Amino acid sequence: MLRKKLSVLLATAMVAAAVVGCGGADQAAAPAAEAPAAEAPAEDAAPADDAAAEDAAADDGAEAPAASGDVITVGYAQVGHESDWRTANTQNYQDVFSAENGYELSLIDCDNDNAVQLEAVRNFITQQLDYIIIAPIETAGWDTVLQEAQDAGIPVIIADREIDAGADMYDAWVGTNTKNEGITAGNWLAEYLNGEEANILVIEGSVGASATLGRSEGFNEVAAQHSEWKILDSQSGDFTQDGGQEVMESFIKSYEGQFNVVVCHNDNEAYGAMDAMKAAGITYGVDGDVIIISFDATHDGLQYTLDGAINCNVECNPIQAAVVAEVIQKMHNGEDYEATTLVNDEAFVAPGIESQYATTMTEEILAGRAY
């Protein structure tokens, strides 16, 4: 019987260790283009030779399974490869759940397809893997397959995003509070506008994803407190650069000259929106006519923030694998473990902006980032 510790551990230090330890997670600035092709199942992927990952796993205060000799088999049903954030998250899992650290990782890129993700989880159950990790594409539709995992006696960790199923349907959760991210974005905008009017366009994330629902809920809660704000429209850009560009092009056709704020639910959408506005001769950023708010604070997103093209960028930390590994280690050793672990976020603003809700970007901050 798994022994849950029903407490919440803020994973700042743990994630910091993960960020420092997982040198492999030091994501070189990926070009602001579509993420690379889908990841091959990890059986084919070369194990990461990142010694630092081993340090990170060891740093987590739990002996890497390699030291105990037994290999732990882990299935990770990953959302897809839609964004730079997702690429960093996938790399982080491959660094931490490596053969050197005593794992056999089956990471399946589910290409943002619910049916593929459910099938991947059912295959993990058929293969009788030791642990199953799910980054759920959507919040809905999980009860049946989670019951099947429970019936098979396989612990399930929900990671990154949230699901509608009750907490008794899975064994642990590691992720971020996307509603708070939305609230932070709204609070910063209110501080920045200081009573001025806002006509807002929102490029949302993938339909049904908890990150989309949370950011919308949080931002809209703040917007409801400002009668001088109007949300003109919101459409899904599916967390991709192409999606962000297509939606922004459509918005420009409908609302050109009427909007002064664009909220993008992730950096890749923001890159696409910037391309569309540039092509239409619309200026944006600290010196432009349109304020851009983005989420994720990936390397390129923070470079654009440092350059003043993005006014505010709310972080969502993808470096979560070491925290999940800690939970699995404790489960494996029959020890108490954290049932819920919240990965801390912060926010960043362009140089020249001072804010109680966000840190002003500097070259040093960008140089110190690991993704």
Residues at the site binding ligand GZL, with contacts judged by CB under 6 A? 82-83, 85-86, 160-161, 176, 211, 239, 266, 295-296, 316
Strands 131-134 and 72-78: parallel
Min dist. Cβ of residue 136 to ligand GZL (A):
9
Min dist. Cβ of residue 64 to ligand GZL (A):
26
Q: Which is nearer to ligand GZL, 295 or 371 (CB)?
A: 295
Min dist. Cβ of residue 209 to ligand GZL (A):
6
Min dist. Cβ of residue 126 to ligand GZL (A):
27
Reported as half-sphere exposure (CB side, CA atoms, 13 A), residue 229 has a value of 24
Contacts of 166 (CB under 8 A, 6+ apart): none
Q: Rounded to 10 degrees, what is the CA torsion of 345, 323, 95, 34?
A: -40
Min dist. Cβ of residue 135 to ligand GZL (A):
7
Q: Report the amino acid identity of residue 168.
A: D
Q: Which is nearer to ligand GZL, 83 or 92 (CB)?
A: 83
Q: Which is nearer to ligand GZL, 59 or 138 (CB)?
A: 138
Q: Which is nearer to ligand GZL, 86 or 179 (CB)?
A: 86
Min dist. Cβ of residue 67 to ligand GZL (A):
32
Q: Are 243 and 80 in contact (CB under 8 A)?
A: no
Min dist. Cβ of residue 274 to ligand GZL (A):
16
Comparing C-alpha atoms, which of 32, 246, 39 is closest to residue 135?
39
Q: Which is nearer to ligand GZL, 271 or 337 (CB)?
A: 271
Instruction: Give me the helix-helix angle, 267-279 and 241-255, nearest 10°.
Output: 40
Q: Which is nearer to ligand GZL, 27 or 101 (CB)?
A: 27
Contacts of 236 (CB under 8 A, 6+ apart): 203, 204, 205, 206, 207, 212, 243, 247
Question: Could you tell me the two tokens for 189?
Answer: 């905008």
Min dist. Cβ of residue 123 to ligand GZL (A):
22
Q: Which is nearer to ligand GZL, 161 or 330 (CB)?
A: 161
What distance in Å separates the CA atoms of residue 325 and residue 66, rounded to the nearest whole number?
13
Is the dihedral angle over the CA atoms 346, 349, 353, 359 positive or is it negative? Answer: positive
Q: Could you please report the per-residue DSSP string of 221-274?
A: HHHTT-TTEEEEEEEE-TTSHHHHHHHHHHHHHHHTTT--EEEESSHHHHHHHH
Q: Which is nearer to ligand GZL, 95 or 160 (CB)?
A: 160
Edge-to-edge strand list for the sheet holding 103-109: 4-10, 337-342, 172-175, 156-160, 131-134, 72-78, 103-109
